[in-house]
Structure 1
Amino acid sequence: MPNRIGLLAAAGTVVMVSSACGGADPAPAWVAPSEAAPAAESPAPPARPKQITSACDLLAATVVIDLLGGSERTRLAAKELPAEEGPNGNVWRHCAYGRDGKQPFALSVATMPNRSDTVEETIDAVAKAGEKSVRIKDLGAAAVGYVEGGSRAVMAVVPYQNELRVVQFTGPTVVPRDKLADTVRHVLAKI
């Protein structure tokens, strides 16, 4: 060990002495590497579930609070509502968010078999039915925001294999559309 310390001290002395000599050396300049560095691999997105069995599992109440901008005192509870199955094979799953007996927010997620090619048709039908409907860009394969009664909703669709998956988040009209869209975006990343 003493030899290593002596060698390090001697090497440090040589570096200091040689850097002090000469004085006419130009300032060091940075030179870009000649080969591009390999790109860092981004983590793979989570696998999309083959089946959606719960709406509440896709969006925790604490995440709703964070995405909508609640304070640290804001409390919401999530409650899974009964699934609705249609004769055409569509299955809707719902999660209500609220407290004290009021549930002003709801997440609805649907799987629609054999409809993966009906993205625009589905969103167009929703846009025509809702009041003050507005197409939303860069959200799923297609999306729309609309007002219905005292609620504002954002709905987006994405095809998955042969089915169409639908995500809708609804809240009071005082909640800005972009906040509801952020919530839908969060769920879309999971389905």
Structure 2
Amino acid sequence: MSDAGVLQGAIILIISYVLGHLTQAVASPIDEWFIRREPFYAENAGLPYPFEHKLNQVDTDGGSVTHKVKTGLDEFFDPGLSGYELFFATQSYLWNNDIGRMRRFQTLYTLFRSLYFLLVVGGVLHWVGLIASVCGVYQSTWSPIELGILGGILLILAGIMYRRRVRFHKEMAKMMIFDFYANVLSQDG
């Protein structure tokens, strides 16, 4: 491979890295706004994270894994932490100590967030192109029908990725509870 090819490859990697970070920087606050409007969060007293909801659903007899984890988290971390802080403390502990499936879930969760955001942007841009083409402002190489169908397909795919992201958020909460129990609390005795 020539030096020019290596340089071009490096430039493409750098641009991709920067664009990925820009996508996350824009998608994250938009995602937070959307997620707070999810029916799950409205039905569960507005708790922003399924982890908090799971911990608040514990039984009172103390026999469930979730109850043991809730009690164990209060002993392991500062008992004064809010549910939000407890979520991030647990997530950080599992991540930093490479325990369980935390890294996999967080990576897929972030991937689905990026995908749904970029698919929405692509779908909207295609529909804007459709409207501009129909109004005579923009001359597209695709027909208006093709622009409309492609824009619709991208938006449908965005909806699918969004649902996957919400599902992974809920699954991540369950995984965090069971991984903390199996790898931390069970080891302590």
The two structures have a TM-score, normalised by structure 1, of 0.19
The two structures have a TM-score, normalised by structure 2, of 0.19
The structure with higher relative contact order (CA 8 Å, sep 6+) is 2
Larger Rg, first or second structure (1 or 2):
1
- Name whichever structure is richer in helix by fraction: 2
- Name whichever structure is richer in strand by fraction: 1
